[in-house]
Amino acid sequence: MKFGPVPIDLAEGAVLAHATTAGERRFRKAHRLGAEDLAALKAAGAEQVVVAVLDPGDLGEDVAAERIVVAMSHPNIEAKPAATGRVNLHAEAAGVFTVNAVMIDAINAVDPTITIATLAQYAPVEKGQMVATVKIIPYAVAADLVDAVSGICAGGEIFAVNAFRPIRVGVIQTVLPGVKASVLDKTLRVTEARLARSGGRLTAERRTPHEIGPVAEAAASLARDNDMVVIFGASAMSDFSDVVPAAIERAGGTVVRAGMPVDPGNLLVLGTLAGKRVIGAPGCARSPKENGFDWVLDRLVAGLDVTARDIAGMGVGGLLMEIPTRPQPREPAPQSARSEPKVDIVLLAAGRSSRMGGPNKLLALFDGKPLVRRAAERALGSKASGTVVVTGHQRERVRHALAGLDLAVTDNPDFADGLASSLKAGIAKVSADAAGAMIVLGDMPGISSADMDSLIDAFRKSGGRSVVRASHGGRRGNPVLLPRSLFPAIAHLEGDTGARHLVEAEGLDVIDVEIGQGASVDVDTREALEGAGGVLQD
């Protein structure tokens, strides 16, 4: 193929390189020029065009891409019609994608004009999802290159979607003193949701003491009537002879692998029993977040074998996002010199006071002092290690009201987008060694330093891992103290969304601290502000 400018009289049959206009006619890029097209171009004054001229042995981009795909073996994958030198391939069923990386590499090494890109090995896919694309870079490619690629494709299955099967699963949950029934109930709901994506179902559950004998008996019983047994231990595996692997062997099964190089998910156990698969689930599998359990479960449900060697090979890419609910996070919360979890306060003071009809409620006077200053002074008077104030609306006036106070002020230029932007701006300024951040709303005049201290004390007593929430009369309120484990998730909040739904979604322990009416009194309206003793300023 030759590419470049060509005189109009020599361009018939060539492929147009760029969109071109001739009078009222417009020729799209990649249009094959005919005699009538050339006449129109000449009439418009064009003397030459930039084109691709095919050699006798060349194939057009679409023909070349289609020929390559036709030579491929790709079960449960549909090839879409070629367009602009590209053929996209989509999953015909939900399942797990597998690919022959050697064949893909060999194809991509033939010539830069021919490319193929795919999803990662063992990626879970939904029906209709694109899994691969074949792209011819130039407008045409030599037929012998296409033949070379087709020859590679003839070597066997290049990729496939291994469809999920609707399997039946029995669950065992072991119990120790202090294990909450609510935790076990939530584990069942999370497991059912995991199975639902593949059409599987949870058929039965057994709750047993955390002992080898009862677990072995329950596993043998459930294996008779199910395709898989999943065991959630009340205590994480700490030895290869611990309760879960020992119970699998006592029931007559075999432990394939105990421990995996995926985090979260290190403490997974995989075994077989009566021809069925048994998974000793790591503690992180109680969370819906992706973890090593998902990697093994998805492959098994898709009918793929998982060997000890397979698990040993999962380390590259196996460092996944931390799960806040893990009983033992991979990094402990930062501790201060006196071994008490440090807490910073994030005071949100960026809002527009839209329901006030004009005046900024944070500048209203309470006992002769702007509300935002009073809130900041109370934060500074608490046990918190530091205070960050987030400004936005009327930032200069708010900063002036805070003048002289020993705190950090950070501006949120996106305050009009909603609460989430201010929350993210404040969390970003929390000190690196803080174990948590207390979110204090600037429009709550009834929150005292002592109230904040009550939340900090409860947080420290919990070891710096729980969410601590102010309450009034048994109802949740504000402020809310968030552990550092939630900070990464806060970075993804959008719109007028606070941290409440994160607390519910992550499943962290929540400690409610009764502080009285102050937890539920804010001053969103003139009536509420004046009723609380405030005086609006223009």
What pLDDT, in 10s, does the model give residues 329-374? 555 545 444 458 999 999 999 988 776 767 888 999 998 899 999 9
Closest CA to 224 of 170, 171, 297: 170
Residue 80 sits at the vertex; the CA angle it makes with 74 and 84, to the nearest 5 degrees, is 120
What pLDDT, in 10s, does the model give residues 217-234? 999 999 999 999 999 999
What pLDDT, in 10s, does the model give residues 489-538? 888 777 777 777 666 656 678 899 999 999 988 888 888 888 888 888 86
Distance CA 53, CA 6 (A): 9
| 118 beta partners | 132
Domains of the chain: 2-53 (3.90.105), 58-163 (3.90.1170.30), 169-312 (3.40.980.10), 343-531 (3.90.550.10)
As given in the structure block, the two tokens for residue 332 are 């402990």
Please report the pLDDT score of residue 238 as a whole number.
83
Please report the pLDDT score of residue 332 as a whole number.
54
What pLDDT, in 10s, does the model give residues 418-439? 888 999 999 999 999 999 999 9
What pLDDT, in 10s, does the model give residues 437-446? 999 999 999 9
What pLDDT, in 10s, does the model give residues 149-165? 999 999 899 999 999 99
Give one word for 84, left, alpha or beta, with left for phi > 0 and alpha for psi -120 to 50: left
Average the pLDDT over 132-145 and give the result.
Answer: 93
Average the pLDDT over 200-213 and give the result.
Answer: 96
Average the pLDDT over 191-211 and give the result.
Answer: 94
Please report the pLDDT score of residue 95 as a whole number.
97
Number of neighbours of residue 366 by Cβ within 10 angstroms:
17
pLDDT of 457 strictly over 70: yes
pLDDT of 57 strictly over 80: yes
Distance CA 9, CA 1 (A): 18
Closest CA to 119 of 154, 151, 153, 88: 88
Write down the H helix ranges in 101-226. 101-110, 143-153, 181-196, 212-225
Please report the pLDDT score of residue 338 as a whole number.
47
Are the CB atoms for 222 and 206 separated by under 8 Å? Answer: yes
Do strands 168-175 and 228-232 pair parallel, antiparallel, or not at all (unpaired)? parallel
Average the pLDDT over 315-327 and give the result.
Answer: 72
Distance CA 473, CA 469 (A): 13
Q: What are phi and psi of 306, to 5 degrees?
A: -125, 115
What pLDDT, in 10s, does the model give residues 87-121? 999 999 999 999 999 999 999 999 999 999 999 99
pLDDT, averaged across the chain: 90
- pLDDT above 90 coverage of the chain, percent: 64
Average the pLDDT over 181-208 and give the result.
Answer: 93
Residue with the larger pLDDT of the pair 55 and 16 = 16
Distance CA 69, CA 324 (A): 44
Please report the pLDDT score of residue 336 as a whole number.
44
Residue 527 amino acid letter: E
What pLDDT, in 10s, does the model give residues 19-41? 788 777 888 777 788 888 888 88
Are the CB atoms for 349 and 372 separated by under 8 Å? Answer: yes
Q: Work out the burial of residue 302: count CB atoms within 10 Å of its CB; fewer than 13 is exposed, 13-18 middle, 19 or more buried.
A: buried
Average the pLDDT over 142-150 and give the result.
Answer: 96
Residues 6+ apart with CB under 8 A from 424: 490, 491, 493
- Please identify which residue in the block is written with the tokens 């075994």: 271
Please report the pLDDT score of residue 330 as a whole number.
56
Distance CA 313, CA 353 (A): 56
Please report the pLDDT score of residue 337 as a whole number.
42
Please report the pLDDT score of residue 41 as a whole number.
83
